[in-house]
Chains A and B, each alone.
Chain A
Amino acid sequence: MMMQPAIRILVVDDESAIRRALRPPLVELGFQVVDASRGEEALQMLRAGGFDVVLLDVNMPGIGGIETLRRIRAFAPRLPILMLTVRDQEQDKVEALEQGADDYVTKPFSMRELIARIRTAVRRVRAPARAEDAPIHIGELRLDPVKRKVTRRDQPVHLTRKEFDILLCLMSRAGRVVTYARLLTEVWGAEYREEVEYLRTFVRQLRKKIEDDPANPVYLLTDVYVGYRFADPQMFIEETEEGAPPPAAEEAEA
């Protein structure tokens, strides 16, 4: 990370208190921060270029977050965009993801979570594209897309065909949320995109096979009402390096 140029963030939120709260820690941690209070303003700034990531509030006066997102995507298809959403508006989150947002964080979020999301999003763009068939290592799990094999602590994990497909879909996007609809479409086909309960049953089985405590998963996490998220590989690396506790399953639901 030190070798990389500083990450330049555009924070778009109409609430000045939130912009003021975000700036000092982000700057202190080595990010460059530029603010905008409206979608329209953000669009102008982004057209000039030079940003690595956008934090975009969903609820703003004017054209609002979702429309701003749509317009950014029209000229910057790969620019990482994280939406700032509120808990009770799950539909906004799904809508934002469908419109091409990379991820979202739910207000009130912790800085640790926000920074982890920012890093994941930026890394995805900066990292050299992973070969489609390269094995994926996350924590103690290893998935080989070619041999269609999964091991955990070097022990084989026996998965059904669909379980493997789900795991592949999630692990290849580790750290990012995958909506129910997307997962269902990829694994079963578009006509199944509404069958969330079906998916839940599979995820439950899958957790029994890959998690130590399926009721408190550390790998296969639930983003309540939105989808599933495989734990960010970075979390496991930091954990071993810093001895930090494992990431809590976020969005413990109220």
Chain B
Amino acid sequence: MTWLWLELVAEVPSRAVATVPVSRVDDGSAAFLAFWSKDLDRPGRALRVDARLADGGSPATWVSWCRADAEQSYAFDDGAVGGALRQSLSRPWPEARSTLLVDWSRIAGAIAIAASVEGIADDPFARIFPRQLLRVDAGMLGFIDAPTGPGITRYGSGNPWPWDRYAGQVT
């Protein structure tokens, strides 16, 4: 399992391993999704995300960015989070989805990307966290396949769901 730090920022930051230009749907302002190596100390308010999102190649042009205000977060085991995970498995899976973690036990958001606005219109995590809709150029963000299901538990503390196996496990 590999994860990266991710944050929505106004300017291109230093030391990022990837920076993806986006625009906010509500006011058209420009921003960047910045990815940093997990080997760094937490850059600012960045959150842990499944690293496959940074691989690029998906046709997604819409981003559902659900992010807690300030330093708010929930326990990953909170019932509201479990409910959002179940709903995510119940409905059509977008091009990619990842929870966004503060550390090994806390969640402060989630990201989903899709090729059409319908794909991310009803994001279960938008009921937990404030949401911004973003636009991104196709090919800039990567696929994360739907997990087999019905599992909602993480494989190793600190790893963002939906990564679906213990590192190094026989496959």
A and B from one complex = no
